[in-house]
Amino acid sequence: MNNKKIRIGLFGYGCVGQGLHDVLNNSKGFKADIIKICVKDRAKPRRIDMSHFTFDKNDILNDPEIDLVVELIDDAEEAYNIVTTAMKKGKNVVTANKRMLSCNLKELVELQQEYGVSLLYEASACASIPIIRNLEEYYDNELLNSLRGIFNGSTNYILTEMYNNGADFDEVLRKAREKGFVETDPTLDIDGWDAKYKLNIITLHAYGLLMDPGEVFNYGIRQVNRFDIKYAREKGYKIKLVPYVGKTDDNTITSYVLPRFISRDKYLYGVDNEYNGVIAEAAFADRQFFYGKGAGGHATGCAVLSDISANSYNYKYEYKKREQRVVTRYTRNTELEIYFRYRDDNDMKKLRFNEITESFVGKEYKYVIGTVNLERLYDLREELPDINGFIVVI
Ligand X SMILES: NC(=O)c1ccc[n+]([C@@H]2O[C@H](COP(=O)([O-])OP(=O)(O)OC[C@H]3O[C@@H](n4cnc5c(N)ncnc54)[C@H](OP(=O)(O)O)[C@@H]3O)[C@@H](O)[C@H]2O)c1
Spell out the long-range contacts of 381-385 with Cβ–Cβ below 8 A and sequence spacing 24 or more: 381/217, 381/218, 381/219, 383/350, 384/219, 385/191, 385/219, 385/220, 385/222, 385/223
Nearest Cα residue to 127 out of 255, 15, 269: 15
Compute CA distances 196 → 148, 193, 224, 229, whole Å: 11, 5, 19, 23
Position 41 contacts ligand X (CB under 6 A): yes
**Closer CB to ligand X, residue 50 or residue 361?**
50
Residue of closest CB approach to ligand X: 14
**Which residues ranging from 118 to 177 are in contact with ligand X (CB under 6 A)?**
123, 127
Phi, psi of 62 (to 5 degrees): -100, 5
User: Which residues have CB under 8 Å from 275's CB, separation 6+?
Assistant: 150, 153, 156, 291, 292, 293, 294
Which among 2-10, 36-44, 225-233, 242-250 is the span making contact with ligand X, rule CB under 6 A?
Answer: 36-44
Asked if 208 is part of the footprint of ligand X (rule: CB under 6 A), the reply reads: no
Position among 78, 140, 168, 379 found at the interface with ligand X (CB under 6 A): 78
Q: Does 34 sit near ligand X (CB under 6 A)?
A: no
Q: Where are the beta strands (DSSP E) in the chain?
A: 6-11, 32-38, 53-54, 68-71, 92-95, 119-120, 144-150, 217-218, 237-249, 252-263, 275-282, 286-293, 329-330, 335-342, 355-361, 366-373, 389-393
CB 121 within 8 Å of CB 101: yes
Question: Cα separation of 390 and 394, whole Å?
Answer: 13
Q: Is 385 in the site for ligand X (CB under 6 A)?
A: no
Q: Does 70 bind ligand X (CB under 6 A)?
A: no
- Name the minimum Å distance from CB 207 to ligand X: 23
Q: How far is the CB of 285 from ligand X (least distance, A)?
A: 27
> Who's near 374: CB < 8 A, 6+ residues apart?
217, 254, 256, 332, 333, 334, 335, 336
- Residue 179 is a catalytic residue: no
Of 127 and 392, the one with the shorter C-beta distance to ligand X is: 127
Choosing from 36, 91, 98, 198, the catalytic residue is 198
Q: Which range in 108-116, 223-231, 292-300, 335-343 contacts ligand X by CB under 6 A? A: 292-300
Q: Based on the shown chain and the rule CB under 6 A, indicate whether residue 38 belongs to the binding site for ligand X.
A: yes
Segment interacting with ligand X, rule: CB under 6 A, options 74-82, 249-257, 279-287, 383-391 = 74-82
How far from chain centre, in Å, is Cα 167?
Answer: 26
Minimum CB distance to ligand X, residue 313 (Å): 24
Give the nearer residue to ligand X in terms of CB position, either 92 or 254: 92
Phi, psi at 345, each rounded to 5°: -60, -30
Q: Does 202 bind ligand X (CB under 6 A)?
A: no
Between CA 189 and CA 371 the distance in angstroms is 26
Dist. CA 110–CA 317, nearest whole Å: 12
Q: Which of the ranges 92-100, 216-224, 248-256, 363-371 carries the binding residues for ligand X, by CB under 6 A? A: 92-100
* Residues between 8 and 27 that touch ligand X (CB under 6 A): 11-17
Distance of alpha carbon 226 from alpha carbon 230, whole angstroms: 6
One character per residue 299-338, x = contact with ligand X (rule: CB under 6 A): -x--------------------------------------
Judged by CB under 6 A, the number of residues near ligand X is 25
Nearest distance from C-beta of residue 302 to ligand X, angstroms: 11
Residue 27: Cβ-neighbour burial (10 angstroms; 0-12, 13-18, 19+): middle
Does 75 help bind ligand X (rule: CB under 6 A)? yes
**Is residue 223 a contact point for ligand X (CB under 6 A)?**
no
> Which residue stretch of 95-103, 181-189, 259-267, 337-345 sits at the interface with ligand X (rule: CB under 6 A)?
95-103
- Closest to ligand X by CB, 180 vs 362, is 180
Tell me the Ramachandran region of residue 12: left when phi exceeds 0, alpha when psi lies from -120 to 50, beta otherwise.
left
Residue 74 near ligand X by CB under 6 A: yes
CB of 44 to ligand X, least distance (A): 5
Would you count residue 275 as binding ligand X (CB under 6 A)? no
**Could you give the CA distance from residue 119 to residue 82 in angstroms, rounded to a whole number?**
12
- Closer CB to ligand X, residue 44 or residue 352? 44
Catalytically active residues are: 198
- Interface positions with ligand X (CB under 6 A): 11-17, 38-41, 44, 72-75, 78, 96-98, 123, 127, 295-296, 300
